[in-house]
Structure 1
Amino acid sequence: MATGIQEALASGQLALRLLGDFAAKVDEREISLATRKAKALTAYLALSDNTQDTRERLVGLLWSESDEEHARASLRQVVHDLRLAFDNAGFEGFRADKQNLALSRDRRRCDVDEVLAAAAQGTVHPRLLDTQRITETLLSGLDNLDPAFQVWLLTKRQLLHDRLTLALERLLPREGDSREASDAALALLNLDPTHEIACQHLIRTRAARGDVGGALKIYKSLWDLLEADYDIEPSKETQELIVRIKQMPGPGEQQQAPAIAQSLHGVSQMLAPAPKRLLISVCAFQASGVPEGMRHLVDGFRHEFVACLARFREWSVRTLPPVWESEPRTWSSPPEYIVEGSTYELNGTVRLVVTLRDAANSVCIWSERHSITLTEWFETQERIVRQIAMALNIHVSAERLRRLAAGGEITLEIHDRWLRGQALLLQMASKDWPAAAALIESLLADAPDFSPALSGLVQYRNIAHIALPGQFRDRAKHPETLRIAQRAIQLDPLDSRAQLALAWTYQLLGRMDESTLHAALAVDLNENDPWTLMASGQICAYCGEYERAAKLSATSLRITPVPTAPQIAYSGAIKFLCSDYAGCCDASREDLGMSPAFIIWECAAKAHLGRLDEARADLKMAMERVAADWHGQQKPTRESITRWLLHVFPIAIRSDWERLAEGLAAAGAPVEGIEFGPW
């Protein structure tokens, strides 16, 4: 298959090379783009889902460190240069208006699309065979263009790596040998030299052809790499495969290759990748045997363990409540496995017994004991994930597992402080805020390079005005919070928590395009995490992307049998903003024990439905709860309380805010004189 840069589709078609140094051609004539920003903008539009985006977002992506006037002027110059270059080359697929820039999908092609399309069609693109770690070459030379663009680029490289890995793994057969399968294995090793399933396939095929020496050479290369870079050995399955190969007939014996092939048939079956996407359900860990002062370790470990599982696209993940009933299974139900954990204290250490069982027949597949200690926090998570993957016959490479331990070089005290702070933040209650402040704020000085701690600090600063009734958002503090969020991203751009924290910071600054960009990246990085989906959906709803918001919210609730209080509260707000007033009322049927600010969504929804008596009762309850927990400088009058309620949530669309204000007014709130938005 010809690459996009080698051959244009037809006259006037744009062909882009994005893997490696950027290049562009129209009808085999190279286009010279004057600046790196022009190349980056073209590549960004080509890789976007809809091949278009707003000028606002592009300004934030390519000129994040420039003032707005200079950034806009620079964008106008780049657009002018692109128009001139494309017009001179005869390419008519670039469109620019006052709001948006677009690159016509029908009139362009690029090598990234071709590589992905080939894998989806069951073939291996030649570029994957002749280039090692090819995803790391995506837009090489443009890494340091701008901090925001670098974050986007690092994320895109990882997502491309994951997509190609999954597609190529599907090309590995359950048995037998084929040119396509060998090519897929070679391509996988080019992407990730620690990919043992690909290595096992190549070892088997070499041995089946009688090339035992070649098979052993592949194994030695894998052993040396794992030992040098990861300080681990190949898996038990790989070692058993090598033992079996060494027991095969010697070089002088007849029909060596057929004998080896027949002998390895069972091994091939044993090592085959799983054919279906799985569902892993994680139960609440039983912690009655753990002292109260140590239970935050159990809760924190389970939360982080679920987050680790959710990073892998080979399976879907959901959490189960302490008490739950199994769902009826049908022929269309996905394979489901349940992770259960019980904990107890032994000599000052929390011991965890983890069990994995098949949901269909309750057969225990694997069980093991682990110690939950801060010294081996990430290592324990890694071992459990690896053991679950092996039990389910799914391969997770050493390189991918290593990403779980990012930020592991921190002190025990810092990690413990972070866990305690997270536990307090999730309550979103004013009574916990002094303790949360003492824990979270101190992390910035003591752990400047621990990305989760910085994201937690950003989270604390971004929601303080919600947890403390009467406090208004302070725009003067947002730039400092933004710098902390950007630092967290720079430390770990592949952490969905960091992306989400940055998205909310931009939302509070009124920078919608950058907010929705990073919310989308958070979902791309962790599409199985219910809270990532719900929080990103809330941002989309605030910014007027109602269809996407509703979809993310529904998916979040679908994969969470018993949603958390924040999930329920956010889903109600999303339904109101999507004009689903009945759905908003249904989602808010209980007292969530959270900030009284969340009552206003149901109150306004009932008013719009004509249920005015109920709306007035809800408003009265909200006013009373806010007044009893007031932290503002002004007195908690009905006017000041209403002003706080209407400014507590960062709604970006004026008409949505006006609908909320109209609902509260119908319920009796004094909304006169209150203006839209603090920005």
Structure 2
Amino acid sequence: MPDGLADPALPPAQSDQITLRLRLIGTMDAWGLASERVLPRVRKTRGILAVLALSAGRPVPRARLTGLFWSRRDREQARASLRQSLHELGHALAPCGGILVTTRETAQLLPERLWVDATEVLRLGATEPAALDVIEGTLLADLDGLDPAFDQWLAEERRRFRARARTQAEAHYSAHDPAEVRVVAARRIVQIDPTYEPGWLALIQALGDLGDRSAALAAYDQARAELARVGAEPAAELEATAQRLRLELRAAGQPRTEVSTSHPPPQRATVRGARIGVAPLKLLGTGAGEHLSIALADEITTALSRLRWLSVVSSATLARLHDPTDTVAARRDLGLDFLLAGSVQAATSPETGAPQVRVSLSLLDLRAEAQVVWAQRFDRDASDIFALQDAVASEVVARIDPEILLIEARRAESRVPAPASAYELLLKAIPAIYRLDRVPFMEAGVLLAAAIAREPDYAAPHAWYAYWHIFLVGQGWAENAEEAMRTAGDLATRAIALDPADARGLTIAGHVQAYLHRRHDQAIALHDRALSINPNLPMAWVFSGAAHGYAGRHAEAIRRIERYRRLSPMDPHAFLFETGLMTPHILQGDYAEAVRIGEAVTAMQPNLTAAWKPYAIALALMGRDQEAREAARRLLALEPGFTISGFLATTPYVRPEDLATLAAGLERAGLPSG
């Protein structure tokens, strides 16, 4: 999940007037009224949007904008560039209903239609200290380097924002509170401003008062590291406090628990996802423009930020390290779990003479000694740079999302003692869902229910528990199918309410509507919202295609589902995604293709009943009766209560001619009529 809106302490916009929501804490992003992403492509246009958003609804003079973004150009060139950027901004914000107002002299965002996380966190933080916990990341972390004047403005805005948030956090700290309450409040202060020495002193003293002197000295080490980064040394009071703690440890005969370095990873308020950084891409050889390297890293960062379960650190932030690819520093100073690094190299096609680009990328697991867990090379035509950026970023994100999810799940499964957080319970459940062994599958349902009980306002477990119920019904394992379907609908609705910008939650909700309740139009609307938020999510393309297929649009179903193959051809959940292609091919009369897919998916996952049904149908309609009966036997072994009448009563396909085709295949395969 991206930085900034990762914590439920900061609620989404509620007013019916709000048509634009902006995230400025961490990597910038923007959503319109229907949760579609409206972030402009060009970074300077994003910068203009940020300036307007932070101007408290006041009109901003055009001269001010040209001075910030084109300070080195003459007046007429700057004004022309601004006109172009405002035109692009107006186009991007078109779904937001006229929120951008421009005149010959000014530009403005209508404040009554605007919701900004940085503004909202300061509003809520005055009375609700937990709202300040979302400040995990730099304000507009991905917009450094647009112009010297803008950089100066941005530095001042960051200082002001940090100072106001820190002041609010300090207002909620009281030396008269119990030590455990002071620890939480002090950690919040130093998370907001890691170089604020009074906050570190308060934290160290509170930990000491709790009796945890080793933790207090570890916090002292971290304070020294943060101060060293800005060229400062701890003050005498902080040094004296640390010395007193050391003496108390020795007097108590307790050895100090050593920490790895004087730069431990940053504290994170709520861990609900892996933290990944995108290093600036290295340029190899000659001819590869620096602009492509920067733009591609930025595009990948933006695409990753659409995944709500990941916390993303931009290449601009990593660039501040002495060596952005230094895995030790990335883990130590930025608290990264994963680092995506690579290179860009330009070439010319020997056959056509057209420009080409080779992008090589590796994903490193920093918690496993920087082990390479994924690597890919992309050779692309460079004649259209924007298309190149979009294609590479889309494929990278679609492919590493499930890889990171599996790594995180394995780590949660091996955790001793048992997982403690809702996030870890969720991770432990996900592999068991796809494994489709009945006993572990049922245990996954218990884990998801426990995750919801532990954190009722966490959207992801609700979405995955709804997804679990889809399999429960589809596999024929539900004791009461109608009750399971109702529960799935309730869970999916709750997931959307908790996080309306989570593409995965939206598409799971859409699949519940289509697969379990036959509400195809509502489902397609949810899938389209999911794809507008994250067009790189293979699951959304597959479930969107399935919904079109249920309604009888089989060519469109195939087109959409096959999109996942281009995004993530080696997806670990390909067995499920490929299964969605079988019935549309059958209903178009292409039985051979359905059989080919059926052979593959039943070999990959022999426990999926949803695969054996169309496989048996396709074999039967091809006249391969013996093989069809064997497929039917395998299906009945997994789902003993299966009948043709029961299937027709619950299948999401609705056209009479489609139902007749499916029934004919099932009958010829020898399955019981019921």
With normalisation by structure 1, the TM-score equals: 0.48
TM-score by length of 2: 0.48
